[in-house]
């Protein structure tokens, strides 16, 4: 919504904006007059700003952290170049930092790989209405994370742009945005850690505000996933309340996370702690997140006694119940990844305590996480 508001030239108020690092980094980058914009670890900001800045008549350097400089952005740059954008790689080919010389890029037809990050596709979609003739994108290969494409499309429609998406082709007409005061949904990904707490602590009742059952977010599938474990979601006008009076332990869980990859860590840790074997498919995008999340999960879960398996391409990750001796007082490394910290912290419930390294990585998406845990009765102390 910050990107769409900027593209619309609007100053409309956006209610319920997150105070996360990602939100603040993006807001600062949009407001700053500097010709060097540093987004740190914020991959979403990097991808969305690459497209937005390509439409602006100025030369800007877009950079980030050391990890960001390893994360691929080549397919997005290639697509923007096809539309006339002037973008140079300043260090490693295919990765940030980028020198973007804004031009009046034109619209047209482009082919783009559907198996890449949906953020590349969303970035192009959002600038599409500004382009002469609009934009027609043909998605080739397998399409991952289509739920995020749908979320972008529906937000654009709410702001006056009649996008269409049939699963293979996205058509964005040239059309002005119209942004009025807007209420931003709370984050279903952040809610996942409270579903996790509810599952690990039978008898819980946890109220989460401003979350709707008819959400645009693919991660609302949490309701179904944790229902399999006996966590009940009761919706009201204020949000959702979780109840875990009747926790169930299924024999095995198999699920395709193509549309909700940000839930993999939460679900994997939860099922291991409950002793439930699983096979997760659709996990290939986890290899290029804040860290290689599959490798991180396997390494850190082994520290606490669970031996996972996966394939080299990241297509699946599984646990068949194999255990090992846990380390004494293991320290969970977070790899600069907010979701590693938040997915592992609830292991304090079955293990009595857990030590999380670099705990403030949570500020990337959920800066109040530790405070909220304390409100719920957890003890939080520095080591």
Catalytic residue numbers, as ranges: 262
**Positive/negative CA dihedral, 95, 145, 269, 272:** negative
Q: How far apart are CA 287 and CA 276, in angstroms?
A: 24
Q: Which residues are registered as beta bridge partners of 209? A: 239
* C-alpha 107, offset from chain centre: 28
Distances (CA, A) of 16 to 28, 35, 186, 361: 17, 29, 7, 21
Distance CA 147, CA 217 (A): 7
SS3 82: helix
Residue with tokens 């304090």, as numbered in its chain:
348
Q: Which residue has the tokens 């819980």?
A: 204
d(CA 383, CA 381): 6
Q: Which two tokens stand for residue 10?
A: 């609007």
Distance CA 313, CA 310 (A): 8
Please report the sign of the dihedral spanned by the C-alpha atoms of residue 40, residue 115, residue 294, residue 213: positive
* CB contact set of 137 (below 8 Å; sequence gap of 6+): 109, 110, 111, 112, 121, 124, 125, 169, 170, 171, 172
CA distance 9 to 12: 9
Helix (H) or strand (E) holding 253: strand 253-256
């Amino acid at each position: 919504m910050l990107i769409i508001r900027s593209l619309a030239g609007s100053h409309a108020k956006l209610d319920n904006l997150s105070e996360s690092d990602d939100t603040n980094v993006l807001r600062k980058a949009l407001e700053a007059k500097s010709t060097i914009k540093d987004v740190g670890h914020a991959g979403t900001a990097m991808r969305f700003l690459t497209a937005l800045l390509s439409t602006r008549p100025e030369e800007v350097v877009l950079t980030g952290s050391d990890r960001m400089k390893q994360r691929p952005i080549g397919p997005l740059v290639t697509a923007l170049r096809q539309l006339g954008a002037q973008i140079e790689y300043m260090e490693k080919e295919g990765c940030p930092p980028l020198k973007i010389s804004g031009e009046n890029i034109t619209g047209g037809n482009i082919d783009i790989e559907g198996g890449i990050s949906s953020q590349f596709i969303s970035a192009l979609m959002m600038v599409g209405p500004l382009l002469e003739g609009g934009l027609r994108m043909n998605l080739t290969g397998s399409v991952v994370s289509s739920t995020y494409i749908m979320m972008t499309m529906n937000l654009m429609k709410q702001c006056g742009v009649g996008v269409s998406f049939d699963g293979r082709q996205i058509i964005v007409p040239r059309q002005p945005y119209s942004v009025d005061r807007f209420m931003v949904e709370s984050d279903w990904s952040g809610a996942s850690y409270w579903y996790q707490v509810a599952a690990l602590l039978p008898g819980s009742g946890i109220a989460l505000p401003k979350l709707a059952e008819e959400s645009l977010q693919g991660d609302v599938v949490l309701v179904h996933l944790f229902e399999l474990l006996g966590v009940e979601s009761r919706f009201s006008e204020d949000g959702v309340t979780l109840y875990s009076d009747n926790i169930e332990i299924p024999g095995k869980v198999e699920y395709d996370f193509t549309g909700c990859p940000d839930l993999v860590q939460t679900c994997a840790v939860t099922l291991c702690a409950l002793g439930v074997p699983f096979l997760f498919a659709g996990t290939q995008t986890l290899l290029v997140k804040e860290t290689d999340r599959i490798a991180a999960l396997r390494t850190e879960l082994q520290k606490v006694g669970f031996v996972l398996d996966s394939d080299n391409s990241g297509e699946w990750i599984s646990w068949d119940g194999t255990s090992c001796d846990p380390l004494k007082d293991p320290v969970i490394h977070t790899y600069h990844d907010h979701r590693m910290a938040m997915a592992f912290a609830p292991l304090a419930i079955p293990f009595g305590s857990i030590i999380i390294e670099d705990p403030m990585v949570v500020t990337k998406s959920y800066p109040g996480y530790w405070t909220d845990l304390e409100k719920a009765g957890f003890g939080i102390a520095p080591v």
